Amino acid sequence: MATRREFAPAKVNFGLRIVGRRPSGYHELESVFAPLDWGDDVEVEWRPGAASSFRFELTGPGATPDVPSDERNLAARAARDYLDRAGETGAVSIRLHKRLPAAAGLGGGSSDAAAVLRALDRLAPKSLPPGGLAELAVALGADVPFFLGSGPAWVRGIGERVEPLAGLPDVWLVLAHPGSRLETARVFAGYAQAGRRPGPALGAPPELPPASNATAGVWREALRNDLEPAARELCPAIETLQARLQALGALATGLSGSGPTVYGLFASRPAAEAAAEAGVGLGPAWTRVAQALGSG
Ligand code: ATP
């Protein structure tokens, strides 16, 4: 029997552009994905044997009723898919300690699934051939391939084209969440129904300078998210939270993925902490300071 623990970070998107639509209906995007120093913990145990069985345990403050605590959880599905693909059998036990809110635009479920894939590939007698993990990942969800890596990345296609970025400037984020869920599918449907059309591709990641008053304009442009109008229509608190973060001194604000989590960009930790502590003063909304992994 062998056990492996993996950290499953949240992500934010530094900008998101919709640049195409596939016949399947999936939208093609371009986005800088940044993993954060906040996330879930995943522990995977594998006891090789002739028969397969799966146990799944969900704990933590993020284990809310909307997160499946059985084989429907994306982390459990990832384990089943891995064993099928690897042609392996055995008793797999997964313990997921969840901190990230679900349907928040922070990629929690995708990160959990990728953590399980990484763990099983390390525990397996033989890891999958190159590209094998990535194929399993994209079949589980568009954000899962990004989470197979450990740093920031330039992500394209429907999420399957992942190019690691050397690093990000040292910026501090204040995450603000309105306290309610927003389903990704609803935001994409809103985007399409409003007759919005994909725009031109940038083709290369935007230059992200160190954060300062002088570079605030560059950041504001880089953080443009084409899903924002649709997300704001479904969740008006998004706009309010961004305005509050701006008033609290954020150099620029962004929407992560399809939301509803928004973030403000700050040049220093004390500035971010002061803003997070002041809070956004909106019903059940909460704030939290985070930093991108691989920044600085
Ligand atoms: P994205 O950033 O890709 O839009 P998200 O952070 O908005 O993702 P998730 O946290 O992945 O969304 O949750 C979306 C839904 O997936 C949940 O409402 C829940 O029903 C389901 N789900 C399945 N497995 C998980 C998991 N491990 N963690 C959270 N949600 C899960």
* Residue 135 sits in the same domain as residue 111: yes
Return the best residue to mutate from 67, 116, 160, 228 for the ligand 1 pocket (most ligand atoms within 8 A of CB): 67
* Residue 218 sits in the same domain as residue 116: no
pLDDT of residue 220: 97
Give the residues surrounding ligand 1 with Cβ less than 6 Å away: 66-68, 73-75, 102-110, 112, 143, 184, 257-258
Q: Which of residues 110, 131, 164 is at a domain's end?
A: 164
* Residue 12 sits in the same domain as residue 156: yes
Q: State the pTM of this model.
A: 0.96
* Residue 185 sits in the same domain as residue 40: no
pLDDT of residue 123: 96
**CA 256 to centroid of ligand 1, rounded, Å:** 14
**CA 267 to centroid of ligand 1, rounded, Å:** 30
Q: What is the CATH number of the domain that holds 73?
A: 3.30.230.10
- Tell me what percent of the residues of the chain surpass a pLDDT of 70: 100
Q: What is the CATH number of the domain that holds 212?
A: 3.30.70.890
Q: How far is 270 from 277, CA to CA, in rounded Å?
A: 10
pLDDT of residue 295: 76
Domain of residue 68 covers 2-164
* Residue 40 sits in the same domain as residue 176: no
**CA 217 to centroid of ligand 1, rounded, Å:** 32
* Residue 271 sits in the same domain as residue 247: yes
Q: Give the chain's residues under pLDDT 70.
A: 296
Nearest atom in ligand 1 to 183's CA: 7
For the chain, how many structural domains are there in total?
2
* Residue 137 sits in the same domain as residue 200: no
pLDDT of residue 130: 86
| Angle CA 157–223–238, to nearest 5 | 105
Give yes or no: 126 in active site: no
Which among 81, 112, 121, 143 is annotated as catalytic? 143
pLDDT of residue 6: 98
* Residue 181 sits in the same domain as residue 160: no
* Residue 237 sits in the same domain as residue 278: yes
* Residue 180 sits in the same domain as residue 279: yes
Give yes or no: 11 in active site: yes
Q: Which of residues 130, 164, 198 is at a domain's end?
A: 164
Nearest atom in ligand 1 to 108's CA: 10
What pLDDT digit, counting tens, does each position of 113-158 carry?
A: 999 999 999 999 999 998 999 999 999 999 999 999 999 999 999 9
Q: Which of residues 113, 136, 164 is at a domain's end?
A: 164
* Residue 25 sits in the same domain as residue 157: yes
* Residue 115 sits in the same domain as residue 240: no
**CA 281 to centroid of ligand 1, rounded, Å:** 26
